[in-house]
Amino acid sequence: MPYEAPDLAKLSLSDIAALVAARKLPPVESWMPANTGDSEMRIAANGRWFHQGGEITRPAMIRAFSALLRRDFDGQHWLVTPQQKLSILVDDAPFIAVELQSEGEGQDRTLAFRLNSDDLVFADADHAIEMRNGLLYLHVRADLWAKLARPVYYELANLALAENAEIPSIWSKGVQFYLAAPA
């Protein structure tokens, strides 16, 4: 049976939490293969994946490759397996947050995001929302981030402005995130 992407609008927060807990990622941070090379792959700034110039359009392939992503201290992205480590060019962030679900309000709000890899991420103390160069990013794991897609950015900004127009910020899982660049 093929994998089907979750539709956040149809899921409760407990459903999302169960899906997050069920997603077991390989321990790429602990793999140190001696064999290195070039994957000839690129993740464009809009989140589209390419191999040798041709777009990878199968969501299952993107989901599989995204589970193998790692970023080193020097900013280089890699696809890592126990046998090899292949460089991958990432134009901006390796993920795009394409869908948002918000439940609650104020300090009791919880935000869940679906990424273009169909991974689900809650904004919380371990998954911060940050403003960089006028764009919002969500921490996914290790040193990997997701850029918020424009509709998600606007949806989040509208929620924040509705609660505090003077200092746009939003809470999720007890953590406050500021949506404006520091003055």
Q: State residue 167's pLDDT score.
A: 86
The Cα 5–Cα 3 span in angstroms is: 7
Residue ranges of domains in the chain? 9-90, 95-178
The Cα 83–Cα 35 span in angstroms is: 7
CATH superfamily of 95-178: duf1285 protein (2.30.270.10)
With respect to CATH, is domain 9-90 assigned 3.10.540.10? yes
pTM: 0.89
102 contacts 94 by C-beta, under 8 angstroms: no
pLDDT in tens, the chain (183 residues): 556 667 767 777 777 777 777 778 889 999 999 999 999 999 999 999 999 999 999 998 999 999 999 999 999 999 999 999 999 999 999 999 999 999 999 999 999 999 999 999 999 999 999 999 889 999 999 999 999 999 999 999 999 999 888 888 999 999 999 987 655
Tell me what percent of the residues of the chain surpass a pLDDT of 90: 77
pLDDT digits (tens, 9 = 90+) for 121-131: 999 999 999 99
